[in-house]
Amino acid sequence: MPHITLNDIQLEYRTIPGETGHAPPLVFLHEGLGSVSMWRDFPDKLTRQLRTSALVYSRRGYGQSSPLDGPRTPDFLHHEALNVLPKVLAKLGIEKPLLIGHSDGASIALIYAANFPETIAGAVLMAPHVLVEPISVSSIARITETYETTDLRDRLSRHHAHIDDAFLGWSRIWLSPAFRTWNLGAECQRLSTPTLLIQGEDDEYGTLAQLDAIQSAATNVPSNDPTTRTNIQRLVLSNCGHSPHRDQPAAVLDAISSFSARLRTV
């Protein structure tokens, strides 16, 4: 995989070529334990279905990207959205993309959309986090115990060059008392770009309160734009956990395709 160099940091990335002008280019933002390889073939399938191009990259500490330089802090998602993602897009010349975020990646996409709405076509947020729920903390505590007592570390190391950075960098900040009050309420209120929310009914890392918080905050802010209240769409999937694109791939592909088609008519 090639790497983007940002100052002294290298980020693994993959581009998927496709048509231009038919649909916005896609930018995939992975989950808290994700990487380029852990998206599997979902980006390829969606890119083919939309007849467009795509970028997939691994954040620092993940995949084959540079290791962390210290413990993550409570503002780590804001740092990724406000400082790293803009540089990645500029470096690769990607304009007006559709952001496809999953879990932590969805939170990054939301923060970016709230702060740079004019630079993107829209955002797809799969299992987003906008507040810390007890279910999130308990599930992360359980998987941390699994990481420490089973072969999970070895299995994940197939996807990450710096496996403890990837796993412990994620789990320790989420389990930190300093992170319990983290929330994206202010960003939800500023969300004005077309957004598709997707979550499974059986998500083990968050409840539908996450989607409710986004919709409630975003649609109750006065706006001179009459389309703001209808800019946010919601899809809740049954028999689906924290990874809708893996648990219900056909439904997710169709939903994003329909959403993308709507973007071209707005």
The string of pLDDT tens digits covering residues 228-263 is 445 899 999 999 999 999 999 999 999 999 999 988
pLDDT at 227 exceeding the cut of 70: no
CA distance 140 to 194: 31
Other beta carbons within 10 angstroms of residue 104's beta carbon come to 24
Answer for the pair 99, 113: CB distance below 8 angstroms, yes or no: yes
The string of pLDDT tens digits covering residues 163-207 is 999 999 999 999 999 999 999 999 999 999 999 999 999 999 999
Answer for the pair 207, 236: CB distance below 8 angstroms, yes or no: no
CA 61 to chain centre: 16
Instruction: Please provide the average confidence, as pLDDT, over all residues in the chain.
Output: 94
Task: Say whether 18 sits in a helix, a strand or coil.
Answer: coil
Decide: residue 174, CB within 10 A, 0-12 exposed, 13-18 middle, 19+ buried: buried
* Number of separate domains in the chain: 1
Other beta carbons within 10 angstroms of residue 222's beta carbon come to 5
The string of pLDDT tens digits covering residues 119-150 is 999 999 999 999 999 999 999 999 999 999 99
Tell me the mean pLDDT in the region 72-100. Answer: 97
Other beta carbons within 10 angstroms of residue 28's beta carbon come to 26
Closest by CA position to 73, among listed 176, 188, 162: 176
| Helix or strand holding residue 54 (H, E) | strand 54-57
Domain that holds residue 234: 3-263
CATH of the domain at 230: 3.40.50.1820
State the pTM of this model.
0.95
DSSP state of 38: G
pLDDT at 264 exceeding the cut of 90: no
Per 3-state DSSP, the chain is made up of helix, strand and coil in percentages (nearest 5) of: 45, 15, 40
CA distance 71 to 168: 9
pLDDT at 158 exceeding the cut of 80: yes
